[in-house]
Amino acid sequence: MKIKVYLTCSQCLLLMFAKYMIWFATPDLYVGAGRCRLSKVGAGRRPPPARVRVAVRLRPFVDGTAAAGEPPCVRGLDSCSLEIANWRNHQETLKYQFDAFYGERSSQQDIYAGSVQPILRHLLEGQNASVLAYGPTGAGKTHTMLGSPEQPGVIPRALMDLLQLTREEGGEGRPWALSVTMSYLEIYQEKVLDLLDPASGDLVIREDCRGNILIPGLTQKPITSFADFERHFLPASRNRTVGATRLNQRSSRSHAVLLVKVDQRERLAPFRQREGKLYLIDLAGSEDNRRTGNKGLRLKESGAINSSLFVLGKVVDALNQGLPRVPYRDSKLTRLLQDSLGGSAHSILIANIAPERRFYLDTVSALNFAARSKEVINRPFTNESLQLRVLAPIKLSQKELVGPSEAKRARGPEEEEIGSPEPTAAPASASQKLSPLQKLSSMDPAVLERLLSLDRLLGSQGSQGTHGLNTPRRERMVLMKTMEEKDLEIERLKMKQKELEAKVLAQEAVDPKDKENSSPAVLRPLARRTVTVAKPLKKAVVMPLQLIQEQAASPNAEIHILKKKGRKRKLESLDASEPEEKAEDCWELQISPELLAHGRQKILDLLNEGSARDLRSLQRIGQKKAQLIVGWRELHGPFSQVEDLERVEGISGKQMESFLKANILGLAACHRCDTS
Ligand code: ADP
Ligand code: MG
């Protein structure tokens, strides 16, 4: 079972950094890990550039047009260049030069051997390659890519050679074991459809942290022979959407993409793994709706085809101009081709053109697109990493770190099928069969420590851990650990409850009278309590502590609390036994006039006789206001009443009021304290 992990960019960076650190510490063990990109970072090198190669193929006249005496509008000059009439000036021709030009007499073998076969070897180096057939409808794209049983095209020839190559390179006694898989999809009206599983619906295109384009859920069929390939490919090709247009009776209405993956696993240490991808793409043609006679669905299809090819043109232009944003994401086609155009693949574009004059404008536009494409630079790199099975002993060691009992519990009968990402991953029972490197890696504490700390780090970032250590086996271990912790917590709570119950019982035994009061207080569940939520007071009045104590001591207190209900006021005595709910209304203090007069007098005395320091002992009077008061007094003589404070410059009427409120009550209370 293959395990796929999608990491965020920051996690990928972390992973790459950690891989680099491991490689740096143990280069012998980690040869090639992190692919060329990683070694590129380490050595400060970029992969060498590989320009997109462009070949043009001119098909012969079809349907007897040559017999009608129509001259071709385009002709080849040599093996790399051609010329086409200039529609602006009939005396002139437009000349184009490409990597290769194949004339109307060229065979399928010429195209294949001249332009496609040379790039296949890169697949065995773990690099990507792609072949795209471009051109107007009816110009020969499908003929070039697929051909016919009599004249097989690029696809069958490439598959035959590739399978032959992998058999030779991956045979017994060779350092690498090779396997080939195929997937086949079409992009139809901006939907990615799996031609090997037509029921699967629209698939999503993703990009991994190394910039590889992936299609999760896409069927991959292993193929070992050409017969295998045909068995899957021929029925799938019939699923491809085709329709009749005026230009082509079986016009391809979609972009067809055959993806062939070559997977290599090193048989000896350091057990590297390489993956090379080959895209073989038969693009749908760019169509002029006036000529194809498209209506309804055909017109809609045509719009989708044209727009994706239009985006393809924009992508090529952006790459050529070195723009910071390349609009790969603007269409499914360009998103899929992201690693073929300006990416990591060795790419070849075969522009198919037709000689008939009715194709003239489409031919010129195809040639212009081809000319722009040959400026695009790719940077192919080797997709190489360590095989997951090398990490298998480390997983076991991690289990050992958790504890032998847990490791034992975590190991189940079905474990190997669920937990092993590779069929060859070393289970505990097969530990004797470990390769020398596997044994070494299981014993190397430095590597083990680094991998585990990386795993912890990624775990703390919310990831499921490193690729190598992320298995259902580990997840089960984590789950069991969590369950054990929960069990302990439950035990602890049970003990606590027992303790509390024992305490209550002991209390009851000491004072049985208190039973009714105390035990419900302890044991009554919270939910049964009626909770009264008091509304916030509209007006808060600060009551000095002494005053409250005094009130409680004397029932005939001179201070009362006024309860405000709306506009009406009701006088009530302060009573501690007053129900709590009553607190929801406003309360104000009413002070006896005598007490109030004492308070006022005390303030007046202070205002007239107190120093600036004394004045600062009053509420709401700071250094500045105290000095203002003293200054006013020196100028105007003593205050006749506390309200004169308003006359002091810098003290407003409002401030004076709040000063009185804040001070009178306290000073009155002090007066009572003094006199009692
Ligand atoms: P496209 O896929 O570009 O729409 P096709 O590959 O379907 O075009 O080609 C249209 C027609 O032209 C087909 O009948 C095909 O057999 C024929 N044809 C294309 N290229 C050649 C060629 N090089 N030699 C002979 N016939 C060709
Ligand atoms: Mg076609």
The whole-number average pLDDT for the span 324-341 is 87
pLDDT band at 388 (very low <50, low <70, confident <90, very high): low
Tens-place pLDDT, residues 476-510: 666 666 777 777 778 788 888 888 878 777 776 66
Is the pLDDT at 619 greater than 50, yes or no? yes
Distance 62 CA to ligand 1 centre (A): 8
Min mean pLDDT across 76-80, 462-466, 628-632, 655-659 is at 462-466
The whole-number average pLDDT for the span 267-278 is 88
Tens-place pLDDT, residues 438-467: 443 444 444 544 555 555 555 555 444 444
Highest mean pLDDT among 45-49, 192-196, 477-481, 558-562: 192-196
Residue 295, exposed/middle/buried by CB under 10 A (0-12, 13-18, 19+)? exposed
> Which ligand minimizes its atom distance to the CA of 135?
1
Say which residue, 223 or 2, is predicted with more confidence.
223
**Ligand 1 near 145 CB (within 6 A):** no
Is the pLDDT at 544 greater than 90, yes or no? no
> Which ligand minimizes its atom distance to the CA of 138?
1
For residues 278 and 275, what is the distance between their CA atoms, to the nearest angstrom? 10
**Ligand 1 near 253 CB (within 6 A):** no
Annotated binding site for ATP: 135-142
Tens-place pLDDT, residues 546-597: 333 344 344 444 444 444 444 444 433 333 444 443 433 333 445 677 777 8
All residues with CB under 5 Å from ion ligand 2 = 141-142, 252
Neighbour-count burial for 354-363, b at 16+ CB within 10 Å, e otherwise: bbbeebbebb
pLDDT at 12: 46
| CA atoms lying within 13 Å on the CB side of residue 497 | 7
> DSSP letter string over 324-388?
S---GGGSHHHHHGGGTSSSSEEEEEEEEE--SGGGHHHHHHHHHHHHHHTT-EE-----EEE-G
pLDDT at 349: 93
Phi-psi region of 637 (alpha: psi -120 to 50; beta: other; left: phi over 0): left
**Ligand 1 near 140 CB (within 6 A):** yes
The whole-number average pLDDT for the span 656-663 is 80
pLDDT band at 46 (very low <50, low <70, confident <90, very high): low
pLDDT band at 57 (very low <50, low <70, confident <90, very high): very high
Distance 364 CA to ligand 2 centre (A): 19
Annotated binding site: 135-142
**Ligand 1 near 143 CB (within 6 A):** yes
**Ligand 1 near 103 CB (within 6 A):** no
Cβ atoms of residues 595 and 558 within 8 Å? yes
For residues 155 and 28, what is the distance between their CA atoms, to the nearest angstrom? 40
Backbone angles phi, psi at 346, to 5 degrees: -85, 110
Min mean pLDDT across 36-45, 378-387, 414-423, 452-461 is at 414-423
Is the pLDDT at 280 greater than 80, yes or no? yes
State what percent of residues in the chain have pLDDT above 70.
Answer: 58
β-strand pairing of 206-207 with 81-85: unpaired
Other Cβ atoms closer than 10 A to 479 = 12
- Give me 484's structure tokens: 């054990």
Cα–Cα–Cα angle for 121, 123, 128, nearest 5°?
125
In 3-state terms the chain splits into helix, strand, coil percentages (rounded to 5) of 50, 15, 35
β-strand pairing of 586-591 with 345-353: unpaired
List the one residue out of 15, 42, 47 whose CA is nearest residue 31: 42
**Ligand 1 near 248 CB (within 6 A):** yes
Query: Which of 57, 61, 62 is the pocket-test mutation for ligand 1 (most atoms within 8 Å of CB)?
Result: 62
pTM of the model: 0.55
DSSP 647: G
DSSP 431: G
Is the pLDDT at 213 greater than 80, yes or no? yes
> DSSP letter string over 171-210?
STTSSEEEEEEEEEEEEETTEEEETTSGGG-PPP-EE-TT
**Ligand 1 near 147 CB (within 6 A):** no
Q: What residues pair up with 254 in beta bridges, in sequence order?
A: none
Cβ atoms of residues 309 and 329 within 8 Å? no
**Ligand 1 near 285 CB (within 6 A):** yes
Is the pLDDT at 5 greater than 90, yes or no? no
3-state secondary structure of 524: coil
Min mean pLDDT across 12-16, 155-159, 283-287, 569-573 is at 569-573
Say which residue, 304 or 145, is predicted with more confidence.
145
Min mean pLDDT across 7-11, 23-27, 599-603 is at 23-27
Q: What residues pair up with 274 in beta bridges, in sequence order?
A: 264, 384
Cβ atoms of residues 594 and 558 within 8 Å? yes
pLDDT at 478: 64
The whole-number average pLDDT for the span 338-355 is 87
Query: Which of 56, 57, 58, 59 is the pocket-test mutation for ligand 1 (most atoms within 8 Å of CB)?
Result: 59
Nearest CA to ligand 1 atom 22: 59
Cβ atoms of residues 8 and 15 within 8 Å? no
Closest ligand 1 atom to residue 135 Cα is 3
HEC profile of 83-112 = EEECCCCCCCEEEEECCEEECCCCCHHHHH
* Residues 6 or more apart in contact with residue 311 via CB below 8 angstroms: 327, 330, 331, 333, 334
**Ligand 1 near 141 CB (within 6 A):** yes
Tens-place pLDDT, residues 407-423: 333 333 333 322 333 33
* Residues 6 or more apart in contact with residue 147 via CB below 8 angstroms: 108, 153, 154, 155, 156
Is the pLDDT at 227 greater than 90, yes or no? yes
Cβ atoms of residues 472 and 479 within 8 Å? no
Distance 72 CA to ligand 2 centre (A): 21
Query: For the chain, how many helices (H) and strands (E)?
Result: 23, 22
3-state secondary structure of 137: coil
The whole-number average pLDDT for the span 605-625 is 85
Distance between terminal CA atoms of the chain? 91
